């Protein structure tokens, strides 16, 4: 990949744009794209969002890479959350993004029926276990597709998520590393991905 990115594109992703807001109303902005440079910052952000939800007796569903799950869970534990207990009562679900993506793809393409079974059931159960309170989900499956330069598949998976968001009341946070979008052609993929979200958060913006 190229080592350069357009200055305009970098400003959009790092500092925001007139219509890329830096604050989140989760009741309105339910599909949120977060860009980041540093994994520790990402873990801080998602652990804060998940922690606020768990404190209010809601549920959190994390579908992340192994390394990011470890960082997020370390922070939640430091904040006093008993993750094993929350897992037992179904208010905390942690899934490996790579393994989960493999379960819902067919021929390398996200399959709608498999998505509905694999992801839909997880979200529906989390809503039930939270007593129909608030549920947040965090996903990195699309980011894995983007990292493999599979933009069409990534956009399709975002659309499947949007269908699920239309069916159930929850919020979805998606995370993308800026290191995966460093050429002009890859910047075009960013705009396609952002178009599937209700809100885009510039890199290293605290939530």
- Write down the pLDDT at residue 13: 45
DSSP assigned state of 106? E
CB 182 within 8 A of CB 2: yes
Beta-carbon contacts of residue 30 (< 8 Å; ≥ 6 apart): 165, 170, 171, 172, 198
Per-residue pLDDT in tens (0 to 9) along the chain, 207 residues: 333 333 334 444 444 433 333 344 444 448 999 888 899 999 999 999 999 999 999 999 999 999 999 999 999 999 999 999 999 999 999 999 999 999 999 998 999 999 999 999 999 999 999 987 789 999 999 999 988 989 899 999 999 999 999 999 999 999 988 876 655 555 666 778 888 888 777 655 555
pLDDT score, position 205: 53
- CA pair distance 54, 49, nearest whole angstrom: 9
pLDDT score recorded for residue 203: 58
What residues have CB less than 8 Å from 10, skipping those under 6 apart? none
Residue 81's pLDDT is what? 98
At 165 the pLDDT is 95
pLDDT in tens, 97-115: 999 999 999 998 999 999 9
Say what the pLDDT of residue 20 is.
Answer: 37
Provide CB contacts within 8 A for 48, sequence distance 6+: 207
* Per-residue pLDDT at 180: 67
Instruction: Look up the CATH superfamily of 7-201.
Output: P-loop containing nucleotide triphosphate hydrolases (3.40.50.300)
Instruction: Extract the tokens encoding 184.
Output: 């002009």
Every domain of the chain and the residues it spans = 7-201
Task: Of 59, 159, 51, give the one whose Cα is nearest residue 109.
Answer: 159
Closest C-alpha among 179, 206, 174 to residue 193: 174
Looking at residue 202, the DSSP 8-state letter turns out to be: P
Report the pLDDT value the prediction gives residue 137, as an integer from 0 to 100. Answer: 98
């Amino acid at each position: 990949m190229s080592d350069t990115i357009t200055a305009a594109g970098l400003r959009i992703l790092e500092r925001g744009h007139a219509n890329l807001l830096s604050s989140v109303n989760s009741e309105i902005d339910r599909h949120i794209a977060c860009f980041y440079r540093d994994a520790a910052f990402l873990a801080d952000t998602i652990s804060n969002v998940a922690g606020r939800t768990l404190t209010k007796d809601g549920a959190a569903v994390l579908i992340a890479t192994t390394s990011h799950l470890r960082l997020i869970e370390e922070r939640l534990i430091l904040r006093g959350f008993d993750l094993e207990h929350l897992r037992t009562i179904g208010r905390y679900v942690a899934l490996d993004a790579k393994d989960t993506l493999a379960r819902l793809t067919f021929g390398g393409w996200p399959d709608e029926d498999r998505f509905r079974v694999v992801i839909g059931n997880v979200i529906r159960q989390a809503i039930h276990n939270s007593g129909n309170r608030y549920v947040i989900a965090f996903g990195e499956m699309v980011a894995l597709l983007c990292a493999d330069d599979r933009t069409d598949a990534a956009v399709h998976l975002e659309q499947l998520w949007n269908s699920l968001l239309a069916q159930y009341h929850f919020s979805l946070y998606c995370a993308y590393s800026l290191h995966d979008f460093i050429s002009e052609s890859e910047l075009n993929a960013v705009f396609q991905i952002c178009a599937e979200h209700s809100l885009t958060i510039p890199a290293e913006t605290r939530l």
